[in-house]
Amino acid sequence: MTTRRVRRRIPVLLLVPALLGLAVLVVPLAGLLVETPWTRLWPRLASAEVWPALRLSLWCATLATGICLVLGVPLAWLLARADVPGRSLLRALVTVPLVLPPVVGGVALLLVFGRRGLIGQYLDAWFGVSLPFTTAGVVVAEAFVAMPFLVVAVEGALRAADPRFEEAAETLGASGWYTFRRVTLPSVAPAVLAGTVLCWARALGEFGATITFAGNFPGETTTMPLAVYLALESDPEAAIVLSVVLLTVSVAVLAGMRDRWVRRAA
Amino acid sequence: MGEAGGVTLDADLRLDRPGGFRLDLRLRVAPGEVVTLLGPNGAGKSTTLRAIAGLAPLTGGRISMSSQDWDVPPRRFTPPRDRGVGVVFQEYRLFPHMSVRENVAFGLRARGVDRHAARRRADEWLDVVGLRDHSGHRPHRLSGGQAQRAALARALATTPEVLLLDEPLAALDVSTRARVRAELSRHLARFGGATLLVSHDPLDAMTLADRLVIVEDGREVQSGTPVEVATRPRTDYVARLVGLNLLGGNATGDSVDLAGGGRLVPADPVRGPVWLAFPPSAVVLHATEPHGSARNHWPVTVTGIEQHGNTVRLHLEGRPTVLADVTPAAVAELRLAPGTALWAAVKATEIRAYPAEPGEGGMAGGAG
């Protein structure tokens, strides 16, 4: 006797909304690809206005990710392991920028780092440093928005990591820092990598906080998303080309991460 | 290698844990001595090791190494990294992302030894434990016995004053266990510091220890050399471990009135509260009341029958209740089944009698 595979009928009430949902996610991207002037893509890409924005975007996103790594991994460790009072409150605070509209983040940054801001006035008075409407401001805005992605990913991994190895390291004479560097961090390396990629992708796509806090000065603060927005009014075709570039980068990031996951599973 | 001076571990461990568990144990381990804590699961053996390693702070008492205090609550606590301890954990806890050599070198690197010197020392230790060929491998490629030796090398590479081993053989399968046990015994003999080992397996404990400390419910119930403990058990737990019937009683004249009822006559003259111990194989069974030389005989009822290798172990209820080992032929001959009524007999010369210590409650004991 052979077993028969009987296809179960999918309820219509589930199937229809499911397909509509799929369409909502896929159709806009397909539309973008359909509307892309493929024959003129290379000449447009080679034109002067794309490269400064792309270069600035890559630089700022990478710098912001670097800041997030240096500050975010220790913060994740603090939230996951250290015996600090009010830890659940801290954890909640860290995740606020995840759900906060980026524009609000930009306004908040202006209030703090603006020339009359809480911290900005001293930065200006003591060091002559002003962050708003500068490339440094772009980096700060991107770090503000993207860091929670890294912290949340790394903190989850640290909480799941086996503390028994850290005990073993301690009995072998390792200091807290040495244990973290040689035992804890390597054990959460996959999560740090995944968090870094997510963080970088989020920083690359940042728009709201950037335009609010850093403004829109070509060559200085006009990143790719801002350039897309600008171009949409003056030169829609350029906007499409820039969008395709961003889409390509995003898909490449996603593919890279999938690769990583597959390798981990193997 | 591994000579670590003559420092004695002196510990008066008191540790209360939420949930009502209480550890209250005094331990002294001299340099070169191997002390094994033996006890059932949950007796507090691992907690003892963790307290000495500094992974579980005491709530009372004191841990000192000669004149140096490691833990004297509430005023002094030396963190694990500043104690001269080497720990071999039950699951070994080799760092999975490092090679075997890096694992063994870890303690030296952590203490500031430079990379080359640390690697050289690690290789020397890997030679000692016979793992040089595996130095470049990740721990997951090692067998259980190899992983244990790597963990031992890692613990010894920092030349600790105290070596702590938590169930070092428990993770091994039966086929490799005897060989690894013999190797471990050899390495422990060469180690010059104090060694404290934890086990719930009597064979491991007996073969690896200079001195046994039996722990039950967080307290010491008996200690002594393996031979002393094996021949003169003082609790039902130890008696079961070493396979003896243990009966408590009070000696009057030449006979002993047993705590659980009944009376036995040992060959040795004794007086006062005593323990009586004899192997289950010394119990002889008769279908009817025996007549002759055996003065110790009493009626029993079979309550349990289990196969143990080539012999059959019988649970015999009576005054006293005892275990008996008989051959399968005897089971057939006497038509033994639960409920069968028999006569049990033990020769006086088979019974070992020794005084119970004050407060030990020899009168309270019963059969295992």
Mean pLDDT, rounded, of chain A? 88
B233 Cβ partners below 8 Å, 6+ apart? B222, B239, B241, B242, B244, B246, B275, B277
Q: What are the helix (H) ranges across chain B?
A: 45-53, 100-110, 115-128, 144-156, 174-190, 202-208, 226-231, 236-242, 328-333
- What residue in A sits closest to B85 (Cα-Cα)? A171
Does B89 sit within 8 Å of A168, measured CB to CB? yes
Q: Give yes or no for a contact between B23 and B184, defined as CB atoms under 8 angstroms apart.
A: no
Band (pLDDT 50/70/90 cuts) for residue B68 is confident
pLDDT at B358 over 80: no
pLDDT in tens, B24-49: 999 999 999 999 999 988 889 999 99
Contacts of A171 in chain B (CB under 8 A): 53-55, 80-81, 85-87
The pLDDT value recorded for residue A1 is 54
Say whether residue B116 is in contact with chain A using an 8 A CB cutoff: no
B138 Cβ partners below 8 Å, 6+ apart? B96, B97, B98, B99, B100
Give DSSP secondary structure letters for A26-85. Answer: HHHHHHHHHHS-GGGHHHHHHSTTHHHHHHHHHHHHHHHHHHHHHHHHHHHHHHHTS--T
pLDDT in tens, A209-254: 999 999 988 888 999 999 899 888 888 888 888 888 888 888 888 7
Say whether residue B70 is in contact with chain A using an 8 A CB cutoff: no
Task: Please measure the distance between the N-terminal and C-terminal CA atoms of chain A and give it in whole angstroms.
Answer: 36
The pLDDT value recorded for residue B293 is 59
- What residue in B sits closest to A177 (Cα-Cα)? B110
Domain boundaries, chain A: 59-265
pLDDT in tens, A17-37: 999 999 999 999 999 999 888
Q: Give yes or no for a contact between B248 and B356, defined as CB atoms under 8 angstroms apart.
A: yes
Length of chain A: 266
The pLDDT value recorded for residue A53 is 87
The pLDDT value recorded for residue A50 is 76
pLDDT in tens, A203-217: 999 999 999 999 988
Nearest to A170 among B81, B154, B158 (CB): B81
Does A175 sit within 8 Å of B110, measured CB to CB? yes
d(CA B326, CA B83): 53
Residues B260-276 have a mean pLDDT of 88
B160-190 in b/e form (b: 16+ CB < 10 A) is bbbbbbbbbbeebeeeebeebbebbeebbee
- pLDDT cut 90: percent of chain B above it: 62
Lowest mean pLDDT among A55-64, A256-265, B119-128, B255-264: A256-265
- The CATH code of the domain at B236-355 is 2.40.50.100
d(CA A165, CA B139): 13
Contacts of B118 in chain A (CB under 8 A): none
Residues A91-109 have a mean pLDDT of 92
Which residues of chain A approach chain B closer than 8 Å at the C-beta? 164-165, 167-175, 178, 182-183, 186-187, 189
Q: Which CATH class is domain A59-265?
A: mainly alpha
Q: Give yes or no for a contact between B168 and B86, defined as CB atoms under 8 angstroms apart.
A: no
Q: Give yes or no for a contact between B181 and B169, defined as CB atoms under 8 angstroms apart.
A: yes
Residue B28, SS3 per DSSP = strand
Tally Cβ neighbours within 10 Å of residue A160.
Answer: 11
d(CA A228, CA A207): 10
Same fold, B9-231 and B236-355: no
The CATH architecture annotation of domain B9-231 reads 3-Layer(aba) Sandwich (3.40)
Nearest to B81 among A164, A165, A174 (CB): A174
Residues B326-335 have a mean pLDDT of 89
Say whether residue B154 is in contact with chain A using an 8 A CB cutoff: yes
Domain boundaries, chain B: 9-231, 236-355
pLDDT at B4 over 50: no
pLDDT at B5 over 80: no
- Say if pTM beats, i.e. exceeds, 0.90: no
- pLDDT cut 90: percent of chain A above it: 53
The pLDDT value recorded for residue B367 is 37
Residue B195, SS3 per DSSP = strand
Question: Of B179, B154, B173, B174, which is closest to residue B164 (Cα–Cα)?
Answer: B154
Predicted complex ipTM: 0.80
Nearest to A171 among B87, B96, B98 (CB): B87
- pLDDT cut 70: percent of chain B above it: 95
Nearest to B110 among A167, A174, A187 (CB): A174
pLDDT at B364 over 70: no
pLDDT in tens, B182-200: 999 999 999 989 999 999 8
Contacts of B93 in chain A (CB under 8 A): 164-165, 167-168
The pLDDT value recorded for residue A48 is 66
The pLDDT value recorded for residue B360 is 63
Contacts of B80 in chain A (CB under 8 A): 167, 170-171
Band (pLDDT 50/70/90 cuts) for residue B366 is very low
Instruction: Give A37→chain B minimum CA distance, Å.
Output: 49
**Residue A54 amino acid letter:** L
- What residue in B sits closest to A172 (Cα-Cα)? B107
The pLDDT value recorded for residue A95 is 87
Does A171 sit within 8 Å of B80, measured CB to CB? yes
B68 Cβ partners below 8 Å, 6+ apart? none
